Amino acid sequence: MGKGGNQGEGAAEREVSVPTFSWEEIQKHNLRTDRWLVIDRKVYNITKWSIQHPGGQRVIGHYAGEDATDAFRAFHPDLEFVGKFLKPLLIGELAPEEPSQDHGKNSKITEDFRALRKTAEDMNLFKTNHVFFLLLLAHIIALESIAWFTVFYFGNGWIPTLITAFVLATSQAQAGWLQHDYGHLSVYRKPKWNHLVHKFVIGHLKGASANWWNHRHFQHHAKPNIFHKDPDVNMLHVFVLGEWQPIEYGKKKLKYLPYNHQHEYFFLIGPPLLIPMYFQYQIIMTMIVHKNWVKLATREAEDLAWAVSYYIRFFITYIPFYGILGALLFLNFIRFLESHWFVWVTQMNHIVMEIDQEAYRDWFSSQLTATCNVEQSFFNDWFSGHLNFQIEHHLFPTMPRHNLHKIAPLVKSLCAKHGIEYQEKPLLRALLDIIRSLKKSGKLWLDAYLHK
């Protein structure tokens, strides 16, 4: 029989041998000990493998029982490479009569978004301008050098010290935006080069952990503003966010803090303490307390080595001017300043948007519901690390940030076509909306606490 006939027989055999599943069956497998997900109508059992997932088991677990096609494409620039890891996990396919989307998600929006992604690829918007990122790194190193020269030349008086602290806080903030680029694999075509430079920037330039950042931040992107899935909205009872949470707290008479005043105490414990206390504690726990000392080549061990190199460099540089205690206080003051910058920029795009329980929206709708933009300008781009294009960044996290403004008009058009609001604000209004949002949620809590 000819070659074509053999192919036909093989195809028929495969068709018989591949199990098919309904969405009802797939959605039962959404537990920590039993996880299935769907990519391009193929069903995968990721229960055991999720522990090995480079992005962490939580982020992949958040899509258990769901279609993860768009999230899979969004996070992985090299689909051929990661596809090799999927093959052994394949257990079947969606039954032919089943829709490609679960939970009644809008298939038309999904289809149009995938066409938009194809357009972005055809426009080479995932192609990196390496000079752009080299200049970003160079200006961070220049800021570090200016800071050292200031205290070296002018001495360690109050004015030179304050100037040096603000310059170093600026370099730390900018290094934070730069590590974000490499962490999202948006610079180099090969993931391994992104991972290597990411460890250098977040470890040696900032003293933080790439592994901690990956596991935390990818969850935020996968399920933004979803309680129990996005760690960025886990406020440890310090704040209540959105509409659902404050009402629930109020009805249950939960009063860990006077939430009707949270828009006021935000200034005292939000921007000042996030990085110097909360993030610092989490990073140490990730690198040391949770570290497996038997496997010295683990990611945690690498992160610890990079972070130690940052502290060695910092203290060698500034102990001669301030002494050990003075240098330690100086470092924490820099973290204090950077924390203000980080909190205001990161919260202006998210905390003001819908924050709720899982609603099982399609990828495009879920990102637009949870994100908003700030108007473009040279300063806004630099100040926020191009996170003023938060919508586009969330839709295409591996797209180099210098191309986000190019895809924005097409995203706006797709929003208009499907009646989805595309929010874009001036910078000052976006910052003020943080306070307005906290105040609104606080009022909802108080009303539910007193009357429900």
The amino acid that residue 449 corresponds to is Y
Residue closest to 355 by CA, chosen among 271, 205, 230, 261: 230
- Residue 16: the pLDDT is 54
Instruction: Give me the phi and psi of 228, to 5 degrees please.
Output: 75, 0
- CA 369 → CA 46, 226, 234, 366, 415, distances in Å? 28, 11, 18, 5, 11
Summarize pLDDT for 1-47 with one digit per residue, the tens.
Answer: 344 444 444 444 445 578 999 999 999 999 999 999 999 999 999 99
DSSP string, 196-236: HHHHIIIIITT---HHHHHHHHHHHHHSTTBTTT-GGG--T
Q: Which two tokens stand for residue 278?
A: 């909360």
Number of other residues whose CB lies within 10 A of the CB of residue 297? 6
Q: Cβ(46)–Cβ(35) under 8 Å?
A: yes
Q: Cβ(92)–Cβ(19) under 8 Å?
A: yes
Spell out, as residue ranges, where the chain has pLDDT lower than 70. 1-16, 289-299
Q: Which two tokens stand for residue 123?
A: 């426009």
CA atoms of 328 and 314, how far apart (whole Å): 10
* CA contacts within 13 A on the Cβ side of 284: 7
Q: Cβ(373)–Cβ(407) under 8 Å?
A: no
Residue found under tokens 């700030």: 374
Residue closest to 96 by CA, chosen among 22, 161, 158: 22
At 31, is the secondary structure helix, strand, or coil? strand
Q: Which two tokens stand for residue 391?
A: 């919508």
Residue found under tokens 């931040």: 217
Summarize pLDDT for 329-341 with one digit per residue, the tens.
Answer: 999 999 999 999 9
Helix (H) or strand (E) holding 425: strand 424-425
Q: How many angstroms from the chain centroid is the CA of residue 406?
A: 21
CA atoms of 99 and 323, how far apart (whole Å): 66
Query: Can you point out the beta strands (E) in 373-415?
Result: 373-374
What single-letter DSSP state applies at residue 371? -
Tell me the pTM.
Answer: 0.92
- Residue 299: the pLDDT is 67
- Residue 276: the pLDDT is 83
